[in-house]
Chains A and B, each alone.
Chain A
Amino acid sequence: MKRSTSFVLPLATAVWFVCGCSGLIGDPYPEADNTPGVGGPHPQGPGGPGGPQGKNPPLDPGCPADSFQAPLQMLNEFELTNTLDDLLPGISAEVVIPRGARGEDYRGALLIDQLPSRWQDTAWEIAGKAVQNVQGLTGCAPANQNDACARSFIESFGPRAYRRPLEASEVQALVGLYDAAKAEGFGAGVEMVLAAMLQHPSLLYRVEAGVADSVAGAPTMRRLSGYEVAQRLSYNFWGSMPDAALFAAAAAGELNTPEGIRAQAERLLLHGNSTKMFADFVGQWLYTDYLGSIPKDATRYPSYTPDIVPLLKQELQLFVQSLVQTGGDLNALFTADYGFLNPTLAKFYGVPFTGKDFTKTTLPPAAQRVGLLTFAGLLSTEGPIQGVSLSAASRTYPIGRGRFIRRRLTCEGVPPPIPMATMLPGVAEKIDSLNQRFGGADNTPPRLFFGEVTSSNSVCKTCHALLEPLGFVLERYGADGLSRKLDIDGVPVIETGTYAANGDENPDLVGEYASPAKLAQALAQSASVKSCLSDNWLQYSLGQTLAATDHSCFGRPNAAASATAVGSTSLKDIYLDVVTSDIYRIRKFD
């Protein structure tokens, strides 16, 4: 049943197929595996080949059981599109999966009433297109397009589609579908099989059953099988299905240990295929997906043209990706004095530049580049919903900037605004009168607005003291994200600000900051920022909503890292510590 393939593979994936593991084509489960795979009994379900190899040691009692809850995830549109590209290269179809929410607003998928009906249509459309070249799909020449070829296709394609070995009964059921339609021709039979596989829950969901009785002393906990770990890793690092090498690692049992997971995770993270994931993750983490949804006031910010927008977004992605892949640490993340420029972006920043493509470029002091917080792409974002804006069309938005730092970088709870109707008398009128004096909310100088509103009302001040005073630290950067000396009213910018106490959260950060650089240095040294990065990554990856108690579950396998000074923690280690921690490998099952 091992064949070489006539599949057209995308270049990046092809690498894994051409190398020493070419025998795995369409057969990710080598016979060396001591558990019967395709065609054999499969008592543990997806546990199987990557299955039990001794029990996991008892869990840290400090890590609460609920931290191991991980809701079943349907593939979101990004993941499903990439998966189909990998499974059936060259077959194009519009994949529309409604957007749902994973933890802290990362994109998930939403099961709407229309979904099965629409997906049924898409599955048949894709299957119909794929069997137009049924020889390419199955690898069988016309003379050999028979029942045996169909079975062989099911046995090789099925495990890639379901991302695990198939049970014998599953193969049989698919052969039954082929039989039912083969009277219309070989292609019709294969089309039926393909349409069925594409609608299968194992393709559409990241199914995780875990391995029963695999964690010592914790009957409701299950270690994930190797294949289940493999798909977590591939979706988390590449936004797509596992490649042949990852399947092989699952089959060989390598993903049953933190060390094995770390090795594969590192390979995926450093691989070029992770670029798509970085773009997807950074766009959501830093809200840059919303860049350009509201154009800037062209009279005030003439250089902020629509063609700048995708470049600003890409700059942040390249910055984060290069730090992660080259061993950059938290200090670099928050204090780097460089960016990634191309000619257009260099002109926007006002930096001399001779290259053609994106190049790591040190910015001159005038640009005031101090790490992540000072990228124009971050600071100029304005989204269609309030919570994701750091600037407005014609002015800065210190509320949003303060909120961004607390929600996305230090992971604090920030209460949403209270209804105007319940504010103390006079406040709504005061806001109205400010609007009239300054010709609309967009023109109201931020500090004045904050002062007038909060001085009259202690209820407002409770929350707003957490937001604007922190956002004011970034007032040096205008709504276009560029450094400036004067604000929109021609008044010299004041770049001091305050990280006010928010209950007992992050006491290490509370205080006055004289400049963006001072704040950036403090963030780089903050343990909260480090764990907030883990939070964001885990929420993006697994879709959980994290509670404060979950932090005790991170990074335990790598105790050495926690001994390092916070600022010197490499971003790569933060990622890898997450995927090797118990919370990633073990799941509550009840």
Chain B
Amino acid sequence: MKSWHVNRRTFLRGGGGVAIGLPLLNAMFPSRAAAQAAKPIRRFLLWSENNGMVMNAWRPSGGLTDFKLGKLHGSLEPYRKYLLILSGLHNKGSRDNTTNGGVHQGNAGIATGGTNSRGGIWSTEQGVLAPGTGITNPTFYSVDQRICQEPDYRGALAAKFPSYQFGVQVSDIPATSARLNYKYTLTPTFVKDTSDNNKLIPQYEGMHVESNPQQAFKDLFGAPPTGQPMSGGTGTAEEQAAAALRRSKKRGSVLDYVQESYAGIMRKLGTEDQRRLSEHRELIRKLEQQVAVIPPSIANSASCKPPSGAGLPSGRPCKEEEQGTNKGVKNINGCTGDLFEPIGKAQIDLLTMALSCDLIRVGTMQWSMAGNRVGFGHIGAGGATHHDLAHARDPKLEIIHTWYASMMAYMLGKLTSVVEPDGSTLLDKTGILWTNELSVGATHSQEDIPLMLIGGAAGALHPGRYLDFRGKDRSNSDLLLSILHAYGIMEQRFGDIRGEAKGWFQGALDLG
């Protein structure tokens, strides 16, 4: 008999009838509490909208510090001192990828700085990756995923969710047009490179983006902490706590078995298949380590107020063509009228609270996807989809982008309303990279894309400035590398290796 059987049984029999008292749980997090006292917690967020911008209404006038916000950004005036506006950077990795169709796939390059191709993303640096070659030191990440690899940027749920991607109407198809977040994985799929003798290229699928607030709530706030009573349970508090502990132990024992089963099956398989299963097994192992959802030290702090989950919107907002007269009503395609904004706000609320409670320190808020057909009839910009309005350079685009800015203002309001124990706000501790994969939607231009960094990031960023790089041939890869440096991650290069060959990475941008 294998040793794990003994361990599991000993654990079950020894602990089955004895509930571990709650104070012990508090004692499980001493190192985290100590670390928090020593160092402010810094966060990073990606915020994405698509289909390009109205650039002359976006761009500020004036100089480095005396800049005046663009026409679209009136709602951001209260947060002016938190804005670091970046003009003139190109989405180069994507733009220059002439063989693999960057034009509709700019999202894949925006946070990776890499080239991309159909159905996934790859960097020439990863060209050596092929079945059976043995993969070492993978460097392929989007900026957020690179950041959350570092211990400093791992929240209480990091074992399960090193980051969390919130979305609104983001397609479940992991196409590059619909994904910004990428991380190195053991299980790329392979596609033929038709430009290179049908050579098979690994394709890294984007990370999951959750567009259903109810599911996001369940993931982040759903499970009761170990040893805590489940809501709706019966019996005395002590009985409930004991039942919850038994339940948690049973789950743990089953996870032991499942982990061991993965190991057993892996032994029978070839190298490639082993890699796939080992990745799955690693996630199960982390799941088992995840003993509590919210560390009591934080759960008891004033700024962490976990939501109840009541009243969260669900379902899918209708596209422009589906909206018709049925706002607020589920139509035949299963969508509901004007849900785009309510879902977005619910996601922002969950995201803010997940940061407040230190469940995650890295996250994404993604508004639909490249080429999206979201309808904005409810704010007076209807008649055609956002995509079609963008192609037609319709004046209504300004209404749409003004609305997106107001959603950003909504989030900034939430982040400033959370005052952390040291007296600063959550926004002081957070850096938000606001992206759009295109500048001019009508021509799919990836030149001079509109980018903004918002927040203080606990001293890592020096906002309240307008940096204009027009004419300097700098790219989003420069920015991504500079963000990593500001966050204390001293990579030598980031994004497409061709950047280095062309001498783009001569120095970091002045962000701090």
Spell out A's residues near B (CB within 8 Å). 45-46, 69, 71-72, 96, 98-103, 105, 108, 110-118, 120-121, 124, 170, 172-174, 176-177, 179-181, 183-184, 192, 195-196, 199-202, 205, 207-209, 292-295, 306-307, 384-387, 393, 413-422, 428, 431-432, 435, 440-442, 545, 547-548, 588-590
Q: Please, which residues of chain B bring their CB within 8 A of the CB of A588? A: 270
**CB nearest to B392 among chain A residues:** A440
Whether B279 pairs with A111 at a CB distance below 8 angstroms is yes
Residue of A116, A209, A416, A428 touching B268 (CB-CB under 8 A): A209
Residue of B8, B332, B442, B443 touching A180 (CB-CB under 8 A): B8
Question: In chain B between 1 and 27, which residues have their CB closer than 8 angstroms to a CB of chain A?
Answer: 1, 5, 8-9, 12, 16
Whether B269 pairs with A209 at a CB distance below 8 angstroms is yes
Known: A99-B173, A295-B322. A176 touches B160 (CB 8 A): no
Nearest Cβ distance between residue B187 and chain A, in whole angstroms?
A: 6
**At the interface, yes or no: B132 with Cβ under 8 Å from chain A?**
yes
User: Can you add 12 more A-B contacts, CB < 8 Å, to A114-B210, A199-B284, A201-B265?
Assistant: A115-B283, A180-B12, A181-B250, A209-B269, A384-B171, A385-B171, A417-B104, A419-B444, A432-B393, A440-B388, A440-B392, A545-B192
Most B CB contacts (10 A, CB to CB) among A110, A195, A294, A419 go to A419
Whether B174 pairs with A384 at a CB distance below 8 angstroms is no
Known: A101-B205, A117-B160, A295-B322. A420 touches B172 (CB 8 A): no
Q: Please give me the 4 A-B residue pairs with the lowest Cβ-Cβ distance, nearest first.
A: A416-B101, A413-B194, A112-B208, A209-B268
Nearest Cβ distance between residue B281 and chain A, in whole angstroms?
A: 8
Q: Please, which residues of chain B bring their CB within 8 A of the CB of A112? A: 207-208
**At the interface, yes or no: B28 with Cβ under 8 Å from chain A?**
no
Q: List 11 A-B contacts (CB under 8 A).
A: A46-B268, A98-B172, A105-B119, A201-B265, A209-B269, A295-B321, A387-B118, A416-B118, A419-B96, A419-B444, A440-B391
Q: How far is the CA of A177 from the CA of B219 in the complex (A)?
A: 27
Known: A393-B321, A420-B445. A413 touches B198 (CB 8 A): yes
Question: In chain B between 194 and 221, which residues have their CB closer than 8 angstroms to a CB of chain A?
Answer: 194-195, 198, 200, 203, 205, 207-208, 210, 215, 219
**At the interface, yes or no: B373 with Cβ under 8 Å from chain A?**
yes
Nearest Cβ distance between residue B344 and chain A, in whole angstroms?
A: 19
**At the interface, yes or no: B276 with Cβ under 8 Å from chain A?**
yes
Residue of A116, A184, A200, A441 touching B391 (CB-CB under 8 A): A441
As a 0/1 sequence over residues 143 to 184 of chain B, the CB contacts with chain A under 8 angstroms (1 = contact) are: 000000000000000001110000000011111010000000
Q: How far is the CA of A589 from the CA of B333 in the complex (A)?
A: 45
Question: In chain B between 338 and 396, which residues have their CB closer than 8 angstroms to a CB of chain A?
Answer: 371, 373, 384, 388, 391-393
Whether B95 pairs with A421 at a CB distance below 8 angstroms is yes
**At the interface, yes or no: B497 with Cβ under 8 Å from chain A?**
no
Residue of A118, A207, A295, A420 touching B444 (CB-CB under 8 A): A420
Q: Please, which residues of chain A bring their CB within 8 A of the CB of B173? A: 99, 384-385
Whether A71 pairs with B189 at a CB distance below 8 angstroms is yes
Q: How far is the CA of A545 from the CA of B162 in the complex (A)?
A: 31
Most B CB contacts (10 A, CB to CB) among A201, A295, A418 go to A201
**At the interface, yes or no: B409 with Cβ under 8 Å from chain A?**
no
Known: A72-B272, A545-B191. A120 touches B287 (CB 8 A): yes
**CB nearest to A503 among chain B residues:** B194
As a 0/1 sequence over residues 261 to 287 of chain B, the CB contacts with chain A under 8 angstroms (1 = contact) are: 110110011111100110110011001
Q: Please, which residues of chain A bring their CB within 8 A of the CB of B99? A: 415
Whether A415 pairs with B195 at a CB distance below 8 angstroms is yes
Most B CB contacts (10 A, CB to CB) among A113, A181, A209 go to A113
**At the interface, yes or no: B291 with Cβ under 8 Å from chain A?**
no
Q: How far is the CA of A177 from the CA of B8 in the complex (A)?
A: 9
**At the interface, yes or no: B452 with Cβ under 8 Å from chain A?**
no
Whether B250 pairs with A99 at a CB distance below 8 angstroms is no
Whether A294 pairs with B391 at a CB distance below 8 angstroms is no
**At the interface, yes or no: B257 with Cβ under 8 Å from chain A?**
yes
Q: How far is the CA of A118 from the CA of B384 in the complex (A)?
A: 38
Q: Please, which residues of chain A bring their CB within 8 A of the CB of B102? A: 418-419
Whether A385 pairs with B280 at a CB distance below 8 angstroms is no
